[in-house]
Amino acid sequence: MDVSTIFGSMVFNETVMQERLPKEIFKSLKQTMEEGTALDLTVANSVANAMKNWAIEKGVTHYTHWFQPMTGITAEKHDSFISPMPGGKVIMEFSGKELIKGEPDGSSFPSGGLRATCEARGYTAWDPTSYAFIKDGSLCIPTAFCSYSGDALDKKTPLLRSMEVIDKQCRRILKLFGKDIKKVTPTVGPEQEYFLIDKDLYDKRKDLMFCNRTIFGAKPPKGQELEDHYFGAIKPRVDAFMKELDEELWKLGILSKTKHNEVAPCQHEMAPIFTTTNLSADQNQLTMEIMKKVAQKHNLVCILHEKPFAGVNGSGKHNNWSLSTNTGENLLEPGNTPEDNAQFLLVLTAIIKAVDEYQDLLRLSVAFAGNDHRLGADEAPPAIISIFLGDELTAILESIMSGKPYDKKAKEVMKLGVDILPAFPKDNTDRNRTSPFAFTGNKFEFRSLGSSMSISCPNIMLNTITAEALCQFADELEKADDFNTALNALIKKTLNEHKRIIFNGDGYSQEWVEEAERRGLLNLKTTTDALPHFLDEKNIQLFLKHKVHTKAEIEARYKIQMEDYCKVLNIEVMTMLEMVKREILPAVINFTKDVADSALSVKNLLGESRAKTQIELVKTLSALTDELTNTTANLEEIIGKIKDYDDVTDCAKFYTAAVIPAMNDVRQIADKLETIVGNDYWPFPTYADLLFRI
Ligand code: ADP
Ligand code: MG
């Protein structure tokens, strides 16, 4: 395989554009891509035609506006290029209008009340900053999805808005340092974790099929304790999957770079090379889709759920985030000159302030039912948001805050903008895996994201909150008489105000929970604790100020996410009840009957004393069967009360407080039964089968 020829072969990227577009058209499109200038229809017509011809040469017959509604996955509706001609013939057509705007009947997508069904039509609008690509014989055009009143109905629109906001505020800051920069772009590299399970075994488990996670399953004799899977040799079947995955991703221009086995058995990771945030968000959606598709070809199922198996690690997504200028400078690179150091420290300080002031937004951007199993479960970052900077950088900041020398031997106090920052070692990411938000040398790694989720929302938050802090800084510094004095004072004051968010210790420890409480940091343990903060006045004001969300959009998003939480849990409860009643109980009853029959036969033959094992087992089985029946009845009674709650917040809170504990009770008994019921009787594959058979 010649990687350099297949790479990007299915993408209408800049090289293809340059080859196929008239010079003037290419220039004008490039300006739109880089500077966001409006695209006129003649340009669009020419681009559409070139795209169509390129696609047809590759066997494509259809096009689709590819968008990201609030379901968290992608949506597409395919139209063919055909257009009727006299004489019963067709020609292949694709106009600029069709490229720029589409009108899918989006009435079944969640809108959180932003559209009444009678005016259901939303429209999709081309995002020229993300390349069109070919997937399954269709030309896919990345688009934003909005209502007719202009409200965003998707995850892309606010992400693009947040990118504009951070661009604008970063440029104001850079100007203060004498740099006239055209564009600052947030960049992201999302590391994607996933599980691979044998399809035949998967098909035998309703919980995996309906919930993407196991809701039953006793701990197998072996889990991940030997740590023999992490970075271990890749098994042939998985290797074949990974090779094909890479090939498919490369064709789509996705920079798949790293692959390895993860901590849990059957768990793996793919990390791409970072790119512009919206492209990265699009590509991550595609990656997840392609992972699932390629797995099927190998008779495997790719599970992206955050916690498919209890007792072994769940899957997350590490969102490596940074800010780059069009001149190739990374604003999170500490730099080598006093001016660059000062600029770095100002940006770093802004991020520290932003994360402290908007802990709630970062936390809620990763909140949903699946991720509740992970955060705070001692395998993923805690629900408490804090920043890890490493000891060296923290010591430098402490010296700035206190005015005391950084290096005890050198007596000088470091003067910002004059002295060069002492060298501090680049943290290697594994040094502190317990931190949700870690500085790793020239980028921040936000580690709380769930593996199945779109990365859009967390990045909307990162961009917007950082932009707000930078905006406040620029407001102050732009009117300062002496820039350096003002800069020093601002950094010192801000760090002192927000240093509580910096924590370099063990995020899994109980001491941290207590310490964080003393520091006044939020500990929003569940989705229902976190999401309501979306509606806090300070947060609404933030989004309105920067025009990232309208108030109606925030309210709609809140409602959609709360409803989603309730729906996910309802499906889990229904699956649980079905599996208990139609699979587990019948199996246990069968087994109990056979053991009881055996007890009777042995007793008749040899007397009761020789049938002790069977009799005791029947007693245990029947006691546990009663408990299973009781806990299941209790769960049914509790879920029956859901209809009493009209308000979505109350309903979600009831799920957290009452339904989840009742589910845990059922599971605990069923899992106990699994360990004593004969292998041949148990109605579905166990953890040992699922995790160790590939
Ligand atoms: P590790 O985290 O294992 O040390 P790296 O730091 O090289 O590995 O990268 C991890 C991820 O971070 C990769 O997806 C990489 O492309 C991404 N990354 C590296 N630099 C940046 C950056 N400036 N902005 C965003 N992501 C980045
Ligand atoms: Mg990493």
Residue indicated by tokens 């139609």 = 582
Q: Residue 387 Cα, ligand 2 centroid: separation in angstroms? A: 15
**Is the pLDDT score of 428 beyond 70?**
no
Q: Find the helix or strand (DSSP H, E) in which 450 lies.
A: strand 444-450
Q: What is the 3-state secondary structure (H, E, C) of 327-390?
A: CCCECCCCCCCHHHHHHHHHHHHHHHHHHHHCHHHHHHCCCCHHHHCCCCCCCCCCCCCCEECC
Q: Which ligand is nearest to the CA of 428?
A: 1
For the segment 59-95, what is each residue's pLDDT rounded down to a tens digit?
Answer: 999 999 999 988 888 988 899 999 999 999 999 999 9
Q: Supply the residue whose CA is at minimum distance from atom 11 of ligand 1.
A: 189
**Is the pLDDT score of 117 beyond 70?**
no
Taking residues 604-626, report their average pLDDT. 96
Q: Could you give the 3-state DSSP secondary structure of residue 630?
A: helix
Q: Supply the residue whose CA is at minimum distance from atom 4 of ligand 1.
A: 429
Q: Which atom of ligand 1 is nearest to the CA of 333?
A: 23
Q: Which atom of ligand 1 is nearest to the CA of 322?
A: 24
275 CB less than 6 Å from ligand 1? Answer: no
Q: Which atom of ligand 1 is nearest to the CA of 332?
A: 23
439 CB less than 6 Å from ligand 1? Answer: no
Taking residues 535-563, report their average pLDDT. 97
**Is the pLDDT score of 686 beyond 60?**
yes
Q: Residue 190 Cα, ligand 2 centroid: separation in angstroms? A: 9
Q: Which atom of ligand 1 is nearest to the CA of 441?
A: 6
Q: Residue 463 Cα, ligand 2 centroid: separation in angstroms? A: 20
322 CB less than 6 Å from ligand 1? Answer: yes
Say how far apart CA 240 and CA 263 lie, in whole Å.
20
**Is the pLDDT score of 182 beyond 90?**
yes
What was the pLDDT predicted at 416?
75
Q: Residue 551 Cα, ligand 1 centroid: separation in angstroms? A: 34
Say how far apart CA 301 and CA 291 lie, in whole Å.
9
320 CB less than 6 Å from ligand 1? Answer: yes
Q: Which atom of ligand 1 is nearest to the CA of 318?
A: 11
Looking at domain 162-549, which of 3.10.105.10, 3.30.70.2740, 3.30.590.10, 3.30.950.10 is its CATH number? 3.30.590.10
- Cα torsion through 657, 658, 662, 663, rounded to 10: -60
What was the pLDDT predicted at 111?
82
Q: Which atom of ligand 1 is nearest to the CA of 274?
A: 16
pLDDT class for 402, splitting at 50, 70, 90? confident
Neighbours of 297 (CB within 10 A): 11
Both tokens of 358, joined, read: 């908007």
**Is the pLDDT score of 427 beyond 60?**
no
* Centroid of chain to Cα 369: 13
Q: Which of 168-177, 286-295, 368-377, 447-456 has the lowest mean pLDDT?
A: 368-377
If one compares 359 and 396, the residue with the highest pLDDT of the two is 359
What was the pLDDT predicted at 561?
96
Q: Supply the residue whose CA is at minimum distance from atom 23 of ligand 1.
A: 322
**Is the pLDDT score of 641 beyond 90?**
yes
Say how far apart CA 384 and CA 336 lie, in whole Å.
34
* Centroid of chain to Cα 557: 16
For the segment 42-59, what is each residue's pLDDT rounded down to a tens digit?
Answer: 999 999 999 999 999 999
Q: Supply the residue whose CA is at minimum distance from atom 14 of ligand 1.
A: 189
Q: Which ligand is nearest to the CA of 318?
A: 2
For the segment 343-393, what is each residue's pLDDT rounded down to a tens digit?
Answer: 999 999 999 999 999 999 999 999 999 999 999 887 889 999 999 998 888
What was the pLDDT predicted at 109?
79
For the segment 665-684, what is each residue's pLDDT rounded down to a tens digit?
Answer: 999 999 999 999 999 999 99
Q: Which atom of ligand 1 is nearest to the CA of 255?
A: 16
Domain boundaries, the chain: 3-154, 162-549, 565-692
Q: Supply the residue whose CA is at minimum distance from atom 19 of ligand 1.
A: 274
Q: Is the dihedral of CA 685, 655, 116, 142 positive or negative?
A: negative
Provide, rounded to the nearest whole percent, the portion of the chain with pLDDT above 70: 96
* Centroid of chain to Cα 291: 15
330 CB less than 6 Å from ligand 1? Answer: yes
Q: Could you give the 3-state DSSP secondary structure of residue 691?
A: helix
Q: Residue 38 Cα, ligand 2 centroid: separation in angstroms? A: 37
CATH class of 565-692: mainly alpha
Q: Residue 373 Cα, ligand 2 centroid: separation in angstroms? A: 21
Taking residues 621-628, report their average pLDDT. 98
Both tokens of 640, joined, read: 């029956």
Backbone angles phi, psi at 81, to 5 degrees: -80, -5
If one compares 335 and 166, the residue with the highest pLDDT of the two is 166
Q: Which of 320, 324, 433 to mutate to test the pocket of ligand 1 (most atoms within 8 A of CB)?
A: 320
459-480: b or e for each residue (b if 16 or more CB lie within 10 Å)? bbbbbbbbbbbbbbbbeebeee
274 CB less than 6 Å from ligand 1? Answer: yes
272 CB less than 6 Å from ligand 1? Answer: yes
Q: Which of 183-187, 298-302, 389-393, 444-448 has the lowest mean pLDDT?
A: 389-393
Q: Residue 280 Cα, ligand 1 centroid: separation in angstroms? A: 13
Q: Residue 613 Cα, ligand 2 centroid: separation in angstroms? A: 53
Q: Which ligand is nearest to the CA of 440?
A: 1
What was the pLDDT predicted at 116?
60
**Is the pLDDT score of 120 beyond 60?**
no
283 CB less than 6 Å from ligand 1? Answer: no
Q: Which ligand is nearest to the CA of 270?
A: 1
Q: Supply the residue whose CA is at minimum distance from atom 17 of ligand 1.
A: 189
Q: Which of 100-109, 147-156, 180-189 has the lowest mean pLDDT?
A: 100-109
Q: Supply the residue whose CA is at minimum distance from atom 22 of ligand 1.
A: 322
Q: Which of 109-123, 286-300, 378-392, 546-560 has the lowest mean pLDDT?
A: 109-123
Q: Residue 34 Cα, ligand 2 centroid: separation in angstroms? A: 29
Q: Which atom of ligand 1 is nearest to the CA of 321?
A: 25
Q: Which of 443, 445, 463 to mutate to test the pocket of ligand 1 (most atoms within 8 A of CB)?
A: 443
CATH class of 3-154: alpha beta
590 CB less than 6 Å from ligand 1? Answer: no
188 CB less than 6 Å from ligand 1? Answer: yes
For the segment 232-267, what is each residue's pLDDT rounded down to a tens digit?
Answer: 888 999 999 999 999 999 999 999 999 998 888 999
187 CB less than 6 Å from ligand 1? Answer: yes
Residue among 19, 467, 7, 446 at smallest CA distance from 249 = 7
What was the pLDDT predicted at 458?
98
For the segment 410-426, what is each residue's pLDDT rounded down to a tens digit?
Answer: 666 667 777 777 766 66
What was the pLDDT predicted at 597?
97
Q: Residue 429 Cα, ligand 2 centroid: separation in angstroms? A: 5
271 CB less than 6 Å from ligand 1? Answer: yes
Q: Residue 426 Cα, ligand 2 centroid: separation in angstroms? A: 13
Taking residues 159-182, report their average pLDDT. 97
284 CB less than 6 Å from ligand 1? Answer: no
Q: Residue 286 Cα, ligand 1 centroid: separation in angstroms? A: 19
Backbone angles phi, psi at 554, to 5 degrees: -65, -45
Residues in Cβ contact with 139 at an 8 Å cutoff, skipping those fewer than 6 apart = 12, 51, 52, 55, 60, 62, 63, 64, 94, 132, 133
What was the pLDDT predicted at 408?
57
Q: Residue 390 Cα, ligand 2 centroid: separation in angstroms? A: 15
Query: Average pLDDT over the chain, rounded to whole?
Result: 93
Q: Residue 107 Cα, ligand 1 centroid: separation in angstroms? A: 39
Q: Residue 191 Cα, ligand 2 centroid: separation in angstroms? A: 7
